Amino acid sequence: MSIPIIIDCDPGHDDVFAIWLAAGNPNIDLRAITTVAGNGRIEHTTHNALVACTVAGIRDVPVARGASGPLKGELRPAEWIHGANALGGPVLPAPTIELDDRDAVTLIADVLTASEEPVVLVPTGPLTNIAHLVQRHPELVSKIEGLIWMGGSTGRGNVSPYAEFNAWADPEAADIVLRSGVDFTMVGLNISHQALITREVRARIAALDSPLAAFGVELLEYFCSTYEQFEGMPDGPLHDPITVAMLAEPSVATSVRTRIDVECEGTQTRGATCVDLLNFLQRPANATVALDLDVERFWSLIEDAVTALGRVSA
């Protein structure tokens, strides 16, 4: 029985691989893709989601455009990592997938309403759309099986000493979603920095020998180049697909129930996910946090999905 999911994303190099893993893995039933501003402006992340589907031959999944900025403050795109168009590197083909007429929140609400079974939400960008959803449609929280988010960190940040980009981009949204009552899982930098795109990984994907694999390698090469230049990491971390991998094969990662609070006020710490792993504050657990990744199994899942999609999209 495949797991019904909706991906809400800000493509973004690693978001593209999350989409491909969801579409290419038999344990996942990708019902919809929605976009949010984050890595880039909404017009770029939306265009890139359509490109990700076009190159992979994903033609039966509705794609809808979402929020163009955070609940509070201004959009600050991660152009230094993802490029001015949020998907730097390869020449992007013109999308052949049409954008859905609905906005992101309407599409998610429609999918949740129409689904016989609850659906898992997989946000891999700022949580702006999901915050709008739970505020506008509180009655649909019961149709959300769970939410597994790439964001936050049990340790240091990547855009400030203590804040990870997706949390930092819209901390108010993260706080609202965390308090909404959804079954919340955090896939933070503490685990995503185990998914390093080594030269060996790039060679393995190149060896899949399909136009899709070649496009994917161009994305990875660009992503690694900017990570080396700006983060001092020659092997960039492929953050977002870990969310989908954990749904497709739960044994791919370990996790623990714990307490998370999002810092929305701190002068130095705004956007930090305060994860009380040692329960210093003796507050009830409110989330599951991913800890350790089976790295080899993770990359095998990525390769299998690119292989499966590469056959249909050639």
What are the residue numbers of the active site?
Answer: 239
- Cβ-Cβ contacts under 8 Å for 50 (sequence gap 6 or more): 63, 95, 97, 99
Report the site for ligand RIB in 238-297 (rule: CB under 6 A).
239-240
d(CA 162, CA 141): 30
Binding residue for ligand RIB, selected from 100, 164, 170, 235, defined by CB under 6 A: 164
Q: What is the DSSP string of 179-195?
A: HTT--EEEE-HHHHTTS
Nearer to Ca ion, 12 or 188 (CB): 12
CA distance 184 to 169: 19
Strand order across the beta sheet in which 253-258 lies? 63-65, 28-35, 3-9, 119-123, 144-150, 184-187, 287-293, 253-258
Q: Which stretch binds Ca ion (CB under 5 A): 23-31, 90-98, 123-131, 258-266?
A: 123-131
Which residues neighbour 145 within 8 Å (Cβ) at sequence distance 6 or greater?
Answer: 3, 4, 117, 118, 119, 120, 183
Name which position in 34, 129, 166, 226 contacts ligand RIB (CB under 6 A).
Answer: 166
Our finding on whether 219 is near ligand RIB (CB under 6 A) is no
Is there binding between residue 164 and Ca ion (CB under 5 A)? no
Residue 148, token pair as written in the block: 């597994």
Q: Which is nearer to Ca ion, 3 or 52 (CB)?
A: 52
Binding residue for Ca ion, selected from 3, 5, 8, 15, defined by CB under 5 A = 15
Beta bridge partner(s), residue 184: 147
| CB nearer ligand RIB, residue 164 or residue 175 | 164
For ligand RIB, give the closer residue by CB, 44 or 239: 239
Stretch touching ligand RIB by CB under 6 A, among 103-111, 161-169, 249-257, 301-309: 161-169
Residue 170 touches ligand RIB, criterion: CB under 6 A: no
Q: Which residues from 10-49 bind ligand RIB, rule CB under 6 A?
A: 10, 12, 14-15, 38-39
* In the complex, minimum distance from the CB of residue 111 to Ca ion, in angstroms, rounded to a whole number: 20
- Cα separation, 30 vs 25, in Å, equals 9
Tell which positions 77-116 bind ligand RIB, by CB under 6 A.
Answer: 78
Burial category of 60 from C-beta neighbours within 10 Å (exposed 0-12, middle 13-18, buried 19 and up): exposed
Q: Which of ligand RIB, Ca ion, none binds 29 (CB below 5-8 Å, type-dependent)?
A: none
Q: Which of ligand RIB, Ca ion, none does 45 bind, CB closer than 5 to 8 A by kind?
A: none
Q: Which amino acid is at 186?
A: M
Classified as helix, coil or strand, 218 is: helix
d(CA 125, CA 37): 8
Answer left, alpha or beta for residue 204, where phi above 0 means left and psi between -120 and 50 means alpha. alpha
Which one among 77, 83, 125, 157 touches Ca ion, defined by CB under 5 A?
125
CA gap 174, 195 in Å, rounded: 23
158 contributes a contact to Ca ion by CB under 5 A: no
124 vs 313, beta carbon nearer ligand RIB: 124
Task: State the residues that interact with ligand RIB by CB under 6 A.
Answer: 10, 12, 14-15, 38-39, 78, 124-125, 150, 158, 164-166, 239-240
Task: State the residues that interact with Ca ion by CB under 5 A.
Answer: 10, 12, 15, 124-125, 240
